[in-house]
């Protein structure tokens, strides 16, 4: 799932052109440019955390990058190299929201990447490019990891948005994370 989430995010990042950078996203504080900068941070933070470093040393949004797809691909090569070491799965990793074993950190970041892929696809009108099976697999993990109550503060999500039980997997995922599908 982690590789699928990375691949999906990479495809969307690569396909996002300069004409989309000022579009709003479902993340109130981000336009597409800022979301792309955050995704660059996310991939760098994953790599650093899995290597035993402190991901909080990297700003929430990476700025000053002229070629986001090239920067993403460069960071992806480094991350791919990091995850080839099976020891990563059991290593203790510091994350912005806690300390977890590597396998749990990878699962958490799979949820973040999948959600931000939806954010980017929604903002750029490319929801049809999302892997529904990925959202179906990630949704139960996110529901378990992100509590429905006590949102805000250290839990950076708005209240759960109610959607019909038959809503698409991505709409359910977005709604659980406090976004309007």
Task: Give how far Cα 33 sits from Cα of 61, 135, 151, 157, 180, Å.
Answer: 10, 24, 26, 20, 20
Predicted local confidence at residue 151, as pLDDT? 65
Whether 181 is covered by a domain: the verdict is no
pLDDT tens figures, 1-21: 999 999 999 999 999 999 999
Furthest-apart CA atoms within the chain: distance in Å: 42
Whether 7 is covered by a domain: the verdict is yes
Contact between 95 and 108 under an 8 Å Cβ cutoff? The reply is yes
User: Is 0.85 topped by the overall pTM?
Assistant: yes
User: How many structural domains is the chain composed of?
Assistant: 1
Contact between 86 and 106 under an 8 Å Cβ cutoff? The reply is no
Whether 146 is covered by a domain: the verdict is no
88: alpha, beta or left? (left if phi > 0; alpha if psi -120 to 50): alpha
Q: Where in the sequence is the domain holding 105, given as residue range(s)?
A: 2-134
Whether 170 is covered by a domain: the verdict is no
Structure tokens at 117: 């892929």
């Amino acid at each position: 799932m982690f590789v699928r989430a990375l691949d999906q995010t990479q495809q969307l990042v690569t396909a996002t052109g300069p004409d989309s950078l000022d579009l709003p996203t479902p993340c109130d504080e981000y336009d597409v440019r800022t979301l792309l900068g955050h995704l660059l941070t996310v991939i760098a933070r994953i790599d650093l955390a899995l290597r035993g470093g402190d991901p909080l040393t990297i700003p929430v949004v990476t700025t000053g990058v002229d070629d986001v797809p090239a920067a993403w691909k460069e960071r992806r090569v480094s991350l791919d190299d990091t995850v080839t070491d099976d020891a990563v799965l059991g290593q203790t990793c510091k994350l912005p929201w806690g300390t977890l074993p590597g396998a749990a950190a990878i699962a958490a970041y799979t949820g973040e990447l999948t959600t931000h892929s939806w954010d980017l696809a929604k903002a750029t009108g490319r929801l049809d490019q999302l892997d529904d099976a990925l959202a179906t697999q990630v949704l139960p993990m996110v529901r378990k990891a992100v509590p429905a109550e006590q949102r805000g503060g250290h839990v950076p999500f708005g209240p759960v948005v109610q959607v019909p039980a038959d809503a698409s997997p991505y709409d359910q995922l977005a709604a659980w994370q406090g976004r309007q599908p």
